[in-house]
Amino acid sequence: MIFAFNNSSRLASRRKREKAANFLSMAVLVVLGAIVMFPIYWIFRSSLMSNGELYAYPPAFTPPNWRFSNYRDTLEVFEYWKFLGNTMTILVPSVIGAVITATMGGYAFARLRFRGKKILFMLCVGSMLLPSMVTLIPLFVVWAKIGLVNTYWPLILPHFCGGGAFNIFLIRQFVKTVPRELDEAATIDGCGYFRILVYIIMPAIKSAMIVVGLLKFIELWNDLLQQVTYITRRDQYTLALGLNIFKGSFNDDWSSIMCATCLSFIPGIVFYLIGQKYFVEGIVMTGMKN
């Protein structure tokens, strides 16, 4: 009796404390969230102002005149849909390629036993340590010799080669969390290694694959240096390159840059919203133990 009483009073006080703590966390999150969102709001606000208003002192907290026409003007010169289409032409195959080949690589490193695995894995991790711009010129020369500069091939094909060490590493970590009993059962049923990968492993690490896709997406989205190097025809411009056209030879049109910036946010956000269900819940399910 005493035991039960003790327990329930402890439970009640614990509930109370938990409630207070939850309230406090909520308050902290609201404040921090507002701080985190503020820079994004600031960019959005700037996109609705004229160049003169942008430089005025004191800075306006909300646009003095909500110049939504900025967007219309920007869209006249910023060929958003075309640039978006071009970006997707590079991104979609690259992301798919990276996800597939990274999954294959990660699977091999996590599950299969073969000679040279250790050293290969070390080489793989080692390649993360190298800034990618170091390899820009040698690679460019090779692509140019093959005659593929000014096509999207140099921007797409490399991602069919493992999708980067980081992603292989990530997939490897995830595959390790899939219980070995599952593949062993499949082996007994007569499945080969490839079938295990496709029917057992891939469904189990679907979420990790989505994470790789998102990371690749963001990486490519931000990779101006490669795009500048390989694309010089206006009709092939991507969004990242397109943002540059407001930086003229003599002057920068800030409000247009801000508009174009806001427009370029949209695909990333959409991708996040689509992916978030999978990858957040997904990671939770599998965890990321070493």
Partner 1 sequence: MTVKPIKKLVKYNKAETRTAWLCLLPSVIGLVCITYLPMIASFALSLFNWDGLGEMQYKGLHNYVKLFTSDTKFYSSLWVTLKYSFMSVTLSIVYSMMIALLLNRKIPARSFFRAIFYLPYVLPAMAVYLGWKWLYDFNHGFLNYIVRLLGFAPVKFLDSSTLVTPSLAFIAVWLSGNLIVIFLAGLQNVPRTYHEAAEIDGANAWQRFWKITIPCMTPIIFYNLLMSLVSNLQVITPALSLTKGGPGTGSYYMCFMLYQQAFKSHKYGYGSAVAVVLFILIAIFTAILFATSKGWIFYEGDDKE
Partner 2 sequence: MKKLLALILFVVMLIPTMAIAEDDRIHITYSFWGNQTEAESVQVALDAFNAMQDRIFVEPMQIPNEEYTQTLVNYAIADQLPDCGMVNENAVLYFARNGVMADVSDMYAGEQLQPMDCITFKDDGTPVGYSSCNEILVLYYNKDMFDAAGEPYPSADEPYTWDEFVEVAKRLTIDVNGNHPGDDGFDANNIVQYGAFVNNWTWQMEVWALSNGGAWFTEDGKECVINTPEAIESIQKVADLALVEHVAPLNVIPEDNGVGIGIGSGTVAMTTDGTWRLGTDFPNLDINYGIAPLPVMEEKVTLCTSGLTGVFKGKNQEAAYEFVKWYTREESNWESLILTGIWLPKSEYYYTTEEGINAWLGNEKYPYNHDMETGKKVLVDYTMNNAKPACWYFTPNTQITTNEILFTALQSVWSGERTAEDVINEIYPELCEAIVVD
- Residues of this chain that interact with partner 2 (CB under 8 A) are 51-57, 77-78, 89, 92-93, 96, 136-137, 140-141, 143-145, 148-153, 156, 225, 228-229, 232-234, 236-237, 241, 244-254
DSSP SS3 for 276: helix
Binding partner of 4, given partner 1, partner 2, none, CB within 5-8 angstroms per partner class = none
Considering only the stretches 63-71, 73-81, 88-96, 158-166, report the one whose residues sit in contact with partner 1 under the rule CB under 8 A.
158-166
The answer to whether 99 touches 163, Cβ cutoff 8 Å, is yes
The answer to whether 21 contacts partner 1 (rule: CB under 8 A) is yes
Is 131 near partner 1 (CB under 8 A)?
Answer: yes
- 53 interface partner picked from partner 2, partner 1, none, CB below 5 to 8 A per type: partner 2
Closest CA to 176 of 213, 199, 208: 208
- By the 10 Å C-beta count (0-12 exposed, 13-18 middle, 19+ buried), 193 is classed as middle
x/- binding map, residues 213-242, to partner 1, per CB under 8 A? -xx--x--xx-x--------------xx--
- Quick one: what does residue 20 bind among partner 1, partner 2, none, with the CB cut-off 5 to 8 Å set by partner type? none
146 lies in the site for partner 1, by CB under 8 A:
no
Using CB atoms within 10 Å of the CB of residue 166, give its burial: 0 to 12 exposed, 13 to 18 middle, 19+ buried: middle
Residue selected from 4, 114, 119, 235 as contacting partner 1 according to rule CB under 8 A: 114
Q: How far is the CB of 67 from partner 1 (least distance, A)?
A: 16
Q: Return the closest-CA partner of residue 207 out of 238, 230, 229, 178.
A: 178
Task: Write out the two tokens for 231.
Answer: 């694309």
Question: Measuring CA to CA, which residue among 132, 136, 134, 111 is closest to residue 121?
Answer: 111
Among 9, 146, 192, 274, binds partner 1 (CB under 8 A): 192
Residue 190: in which H helix or E strand, if any?
none
